[in-house]
Structure 1
């Protein structure tokens, strides 16, 4: 589908698998990759049948090491900023999805790759995966939400240390810190991610969308704002046909047929 270091599959209707396919460059993202993501994400955001996006990398070494610094080294400041803004636009579109994003880490997730994982809703990782935000060693800092996501996940002191040193977290530590949902064998990574996506796809789509939005909104604007968002989303579901179908299916001891209405 793309010639920008990306490959796309739809193994199950409504479940899209996006693979960063530049293993020779540790799946670093070029400007063309960012524009490919923008094109795909815009298309997915407009689909009403989407249920989950799985994001993974090619090969066994890296999920992604973020922006391609070899490409950036040949850019002037304006071109480098344009590259960054293309990546940031892709992130912004993805954060607006009404369906969850699953990151399947097949290797290290460094810099922008770590930010891709941190901004996902669910994360599976192989044992040799790891997180690092080493931008400070290159004279910069994360620019796609990494400081905020890491602080929310780990607390300010732990996040500050990792951001100021650029040190990495291994998969087991990331699991203990709550950055990873589970660790799986490399040969089972994609199948586990697909199985998780299929379970989500079987759930009522309106409720999946509401839960996704509520959890993403947690901590933004304080506890009262979060509770208000949850209540508003809950009340919309209470007025839905799917809520009635769920109750009827339970009473009739049958599988519900969700319509997303």
Structure 2
């Protein structure tokens, strides 16, 4: 692995084989709570990735074993005035906006607790893998507020409105098995195996034709917001574009010639 060019204080970023990035949250003393510095660094790194033509998959994880991320740093927030809180939250929302515009699959490897903004980072990911000890929750209501990093939008789209409202209105946590049953988590692994399994899946995705990966992701994300007929039409438009691509022709040739394909991304 090689380091990215930036040196951060709350996150670390490494590359594997140029096309996989591993972003690690690095505030274990605060259970990786999101403070203004971390938000700024996440905005900077994801902005860089928007124009990174080599990147094929991102894995987000955290150091230690207790937490993935427990949401906003309330100790920092308690020191801020109203304007400071608004500026801080604007950073959080900017991170979400940039992440949503990034056309690269993101895998969240969640060990320990993922609460509030930490749960929302996982919910905004394309694939969520969890350790056996993981827990998820959106406890903002207990502070007199509500999720502000996409939780009220991502959660009901994944688990349904009724189950989502139950979590949102009570602030209750669910464990890894419950999260898998309701569709938040794809797979559960022993803690020691979690990151390796996340990287194995990232490597499989990175080995696939990049145009097809992006098209499938768009079809699921954007098509899921449309009515069925419109979604089918959108899928067809993406499919036809792929049928005219060099990668489609290369895939057929490689299959006939019984060799690994060489994807060009065009």
Task: Mark yes or no: TM-score above 0.5.
Answer: yes
Tell me which residue corresponds to 2:109: 104
Structure 2 residue runs without a partner (length 5+)? 1-5
1:2 to partner: Cα distance: 3.4
- 1:243 to 1:42, Cα distance in 2 relative to 1, 3 A: same
Query: CA offsets, 1:170-208, max 9 Å, x none?
Result: 000101111101001111111111111011111001101
Check if 1:142 corresponds to 2:155: no
Check if 1:81 corresponds to 2:105: no
Tell me which residue corresponds to 1:173: 178
TM-score by length of structure 1 reads: 0.97
Query: CA offsets, 1:11-30, max 9 Å, x none?
Result: 22110000010011010011
Q: Give the match's secondary structure for 1:120.
A: coil
1:95 to partner: Cα distance: 1.0
Equivalent residue for 2:44, pick from 7, 21, 39: 39
Output aligned runs, 1:3-152, within 5 Å.
3-152=8-157
Partner Cα distance (1:14, 1:131) in 2:
29
1:219 to partner: Cα distance: 2.5
1:242 to partner: Cα distance: 0.3
Output aligned runs, 1:209-220, within 5 Å.
209-220=214-225
Tell me which residue corresponds to 2:195: 190
Deviates more, 1:220-229 or 1:100-109: 220-229
Check if 1:208 corresponds to 2:245: no
Structure 1 residue runs without a partner (length 5+)? none
1:40 to partner: Cα distance: 0.5
Q: Give the match's secondary structure for 1:90.
A: helix
| Alignment: residue pair count | 261
**RMSD of aligned Cα (Å):** 1.0
Check if 1:245 corresponds to 2:250: yes
- 1:156 to 1:88, Cα distance in 2 relative to 1, 3 A: same
